[in-house]
Amino acid sequence: MAVPSANEFHWQSLARLPCGRVYHTLTEVGGQMYMLGGCDAAGRPCPGLDLYSPEGDRWISLAPMPTSRAGAAVAVLGKQILVVGGVGEDQSPLKVVEMYNTEEGRWRKRSALREALMGVSITVKGNKSYILIVVSFQKGTK
């Protein structure tokens, strides 16, 4: 695999979002970028779903997620976006799994996780998604 040189990277200013958010998740489907969830200026998780169109350099608000969340894990399965866990409005981890169909513009609830999770990673191999959960806490030694 060829690695591009540092000279090939550059920063570019894009259109501003309709509203500022942090701890959102960004993914790409079919050449379009989707920004999901995140926290608003007051630190509250929101259900926002926004589409960035590079051709028009603009953001478009889409159907919001059924569940407000920040820091969710996201994977793309074909033309669908799988959204897993994250932090909810009460600042607690979520069990919720939802899927957005980019062609239909609709959300569907999926089977919930066995336990509420945040800070997880997800990837897709073939037609299956894999969630990585690593829990390793050690007491410090003096």
Residues 60-71 pLDDT 10s: 999 999 999 999
- Cα(50)–Cα(139) distance, integer angstroms: 42
CATH at 124 = 2.120.10.80
Residue 70 resides in a domain: yes
Residue 2 resides in a domain: no
Q: Given a cut of 80, is residue 92 above it in pLDDT?
A: yes
Residue 98 resides in a domain: yes
How high is the pLDDT of residue 23? 92
Q: Sorting pLDDT into bands at 50, 70 and 90, what band is 50?
A: very high
Q: Which domain holds residue 120?
A: 15-132
Q: Given a cut of 60, is residue 136 above it in pLDDT?
A: no
Sign, Cα dihedral of 16, 18, 23, 27: negative
Total domains in the chain come to: 1
